[in-house]
A = this chain, B = another copy of it.
């Protein structure tokens, strides 16, 4: 069935072309400019053709959001070589801040916009795999810190929520312009890192009961 295979490949090619076009619009003009009509223009098909390959726009944005997680994984790839879990935790936070501030559009898609989560809800297996995996790594590192008595023991889930919350909070306040009028532009990034370091320090202090 060589002909059926070729047809299947062509279908997958067009699907990929749609995602590539979406990606191009996304990185060059931001998520607000990813519209079905603009995608259609780029791939030189009619807008309705897009709907033969994706249920709706949310589904396209969900795919871009996944690419964002891949990109983020590149940022944090080397932290897992760090033996000391507390140092690793610190570096994870630093890379998280770095990724968010250097890729605000991707960050938006991954952690702020509703669209990808709305797409998720329509799926059969509606787990948020990307988020679950990222949170998992955080939890593991926190657990390791506790096992090695580097930090005081406690509810890993709650602590992970709080730490993730802190870095996410700072990034999202920054990229949604809530720091603009409150902090000088040059001091923003160093100050965010200082905030993170502060947390890691009090955390460290809480563990040293020896």
**A contacts with B: majority SS:** helix
- Closest Cβ neighbor of A187 among chain B residues: B157
Residues in B whose Cβ lies below 8 Å from that of A195: 158-159, 161-162, 165
Q: Give residues in A with beta carbon < 8 Å to B.
A: 111-114, 117, 120, 126-128, 131-132, 135, 151-152, 154-155, 157-159, 161-162, 164-170, 172-173, 176-183, 187, 191-192, 194-196, 198-199, 201-203, 205-206
Number of copies: 2
Smallest CB separation, A130 vs chain B (Å):
10
Q: Contact at A170–B181, with CB atoms within 8 Å?
A: no
Q: Of the candidates B126, B152, B169, B178, which one forms a contact with A170 in the assembled complex, judged by CB atoms under 8 Å apart?
A: B169
- A176-B114, A181-B127 as given contacts; A164 in contact with B155, CB under 8 Å: no
19 contacts between A and B (CB under 8 A): A117-B176, A120-B181, A128-B180, A132-B182, A157-B183, A157-B191, A158-B192, A161-B195, A162-B170, A165-B166, A165-B168, A165-B169, A165-B192, A168-B172, A168-B173, A169-B170, A169-B172, A201-B206, A202-B202
Residues in B whose Cβ lies below 8 Å from that of A164: 169, 173
